[in-house]
Structure 1
Amino acid sequence: MVTEEKLAGWTGPSSPTEKDKQERTERMIREAIDAHEGFDGYRNDFSVYAKGSYANNTNVKSDSDVDIVIECTDVCYWQEYDPAKGGHPAGSPYTGPWTPEKLRAEIAAALEKKFPGAVTAGSTAFEVEASSARVNADVVPSFQYKLYFSDGTYRQGTKVFKKDGTSIVNYPKLQLERGKEKNVRTNGFYKKTVRILKRLENELVAKGLTEEVPSYLLECLIYNCPEEYFSRDTWRGTMRGCLAKIFNSTMGREPDNDRWVEANGAKFLFHPAQKWTRAQVHKFASDAWDYMEFE
């Protein structure tokens, strides 16, 4: 049985040594972008910031990679939530130099100069290999994105183009904002519970008792759990409630009126384009429940 003492030990963030490596990695990537001559004349049009588990302080040692966004704000891609109603007038087409191809090329050159032999170009992001002084990093070339509503307000995110020309929209800053808000409402127990679930998944995978589940998905699962679960007297009580909720909510077809969302609160968690499925999550929740020896 996973004891209360062990769960309490799983609530903490990365160790000071690991945190130093993460911060050093972020700093070195910023330095690479700042020093690259390809961005001369446009430095005010780029925003470099961390996203994901590292930025949200929900990462654990086994998932300590750093995700860094290089966002070009010289370009703004946008669309309307409901085009039939309208919400934003069309502007002039962008005529500047920053195409998805050019952005990828300049970021690649900047990283390869700073980290020779340690950069791999993936379909979406560039991976910078870890060393004794830094952790693995994913660097994501992005553009500013706005989703306009019929009242003229908008939701701001990023648009990321893959090498094959397809694109996805992310909301990294909303994830950070929503996570902070939920953590405050739960007196700090939300992020501690996320760390417990991530460490529990790591242990199950290491013992061959479940299939690997993406770190971001684990955070989203806890994000969708009722906040009253985080005020229970014990960590076993909190995990019992969360695992039961995850198991029951992923059983069968998802109801249209109760769809789960990502930790940014802006995108549905389950849909055909996702790289995970409800069945995968349901099986993981069952495996975790059994390992915790809940009845």
Structure 2
Amino acid sequence: MVTEEKLAGWTGPSSATEQEKQERTERMIREAIDEHDGFDGYRSDFSIYAKGSYANNTNVKSDSDVDIVVECSDALYWEEHDPAKSGRPSGSTPYTGPWTPEKLREEIAAALEKKFPGSVTAGSTAFEVDASSARVNADVVPSFAYKLYFSDGTYRQGTKVFKKDGTSIVNYPKLQLELGKAKNVRTNGLYKKTVRILKRLENELVSKGLTEEIPSYLLECLVYNCREEYFSLSTWRATMQGCLADIYNYTMRAEPDSDRWLEANGAKYLFHHAQKWTRAQVHKFAGDAWDYMGFE
């Protein structure tokens, strides 16, 4: 059984030393982009910012990698939520500037190689920068500005990320940050603490061979969907019992037609055929965690 004292100890963020390394890593990646002459004349069209667990302050020591977005707004990609009822402003013209997905990857690769010689690997989506004694591992994600237009003229803003094979995905990192902060405020700071507990619980289970590894982002999304009444309970064990019961029961049945769980960005369904995880995988993890916690 995992004690209340141990759970309380799991609520904190990564250590001050680890946070210092994370901040240094982010700063060095910003410097790499800023110093690269391939971006001369276009620097105002780029924004560089952290995303994921590090940006959302839900990371733990074994989840201390830094994800950095390099977003080009010179080119805007867009889609219609309902093509039959366009809400996109008229008068837009096709993009004719230099920033193709291939060009963006090429310049980011050159900038990182110059700053971190021999430490950069080009993945299918992001560039991986290896850790050193002074920094943590980092993923640098080449991205473009993206908008999903609704029929009433409003839009949802995210990023468009092109993979090396030409396929693309849409992410909403700033929405995740915004919604995570709001949920943390509503729960008096207990939402993010609960996320850290679940991540550390998963780490312990995996290290003991008691469950399969679950992506850190998925764990955050699962807690995001748990009922907020659990975050006001008097003990961390009670909070975890409620959250694990929610996760277990939701994944025990078929995906409902309505009231489906969303990713922590509030923009995508958490479970669908294209996800890297399945309901069965999450259901088993919730059961394994329940048993390890010693709940009846």
**In which range does the TM-score fall when normalised by the shorter chain?**
over 0.9
Secondary structure of 1:258's aligned partner:
coil
Q: In the alignment, which residue of structure 2 is the partner of 1:142?
A: 143
- Distance in 1, Cα, partners of 2:179 & 2:33: 28
Alpha-carbon shift at residue 108 of structure 1 (Å): 0.2
Alpha-carbon shift at residue 90 of structure 1 (Å): 6.1
Q: In the alignment, which residue of structure 2 is the partner of 1:69?
A: 69
- Distance in 2, Cα, partners of 1:223 & 1:249: 13
Q: Which amino acid aligns with 2:141?
A: V
Secondary structure of 2:145's aligned partner:
strand
Q: TM-score, normalised by structure 2?
A: 0.99
Q: 1:80 and 2:91 equivalent? A: no
Alpha-carbon shift at residue 285 of structure 1 (Å): 0.2
Q: In the alignment, which residue of structure 1 is the partner of 2:226?
A: 225
- Distance in 1, Cα, partners of 2:274 & 2:106: 27
Q: Which amino acid aligns with 1:140?
A: V
- Distance in 1, Cα, partners of 2:285 & 2:109: 37
Give 1:113-128 correspondences, 5 Å limit.
113-128=114-129
Over residues 6-65 of structure 1, what are the superposed CA-to-partner deviations in whole Å (9 max), with x where a residue is unaligned? 000000001100000000000000000000000000000000000000000000000000
- Give the fraction of aligned pairs with identical amino acids, expressed as a percent: 85
Over residues 147-195 of structure 1, what are the superposed CA-to-partner deviations in whole Å (9 max), with x where a residue is unaligned? 0011101110000000000000000000000000000000000000000
Give 1:243-262 correspondences, 5 Å limit.
243-262=244-263
Over residues 188-208 of structure 1, what are the superposed CA-to-partner deviations in whole Å (9 max), with x where a residue is unaligned? 000000000000000000000
Q: 1:38 and 2:38 equivalent? A: yes
Q: In the alignment, which residue of structure 2 is the partner of 1:24?
A: 24
Q: In the alignment, which residue of structure 1 is the partner of 2:9?
A: 9
- Distance in 2, Cα, partners of 1:44 & 1:24: 23
Over residues 105-160 of structure 1, what are the superposed CA-to-partner deviations in whole Å (9 max), with x where a residue is unaligned? 00000000000000000000000000000000000000000000111011100000
- Distance in 2, Cα, partners of 1:109 & 1:255: 47
Give 1:70-219 correspondences, 5 Å limit.
70-88=70-88, 89=90, 91-219=92-220
Q: Which amino acid aligns with 1:281?
A: V
Alpha-carbon shift at residue 258 of structure 1 (Å): 1.7
Secondary structure of 2:252's aligned partner:
coil
Alpha-carbon shift at residue 85 of structure 1 (Å): 1.2
- Distance in 2, Cα, partners of 1:292 & 1:248: 17
Q: Which amino acid aligns with 2:31?
A: E
Q: Which amino acid aligns with 1:81?
A: H
Over residues 55-102 of structure 1, what are the superposed CA-to-partner deviations in whole Å (9 max), with x where a residue is unaligned? 000000000000000000101000111111111136211000000000
Q: In the alignment, which residue of structure 2 is the partner of 1:268?
A: 269
- Distance in 1, Cα, partners of 2:154 & 2:86: 11
Q: TM-score, normalised by structure 1?
A: 0.99
Q: Which amino acid aligns with 2:123?
A: G
Q: In the alignment, which residue of structure 2 is the partner of 1:55?
A: 55
Alpha-carbon shift at residue 248 of structure 1 (Å): 0.2
Number of residue pairs matched?
Answer: 295
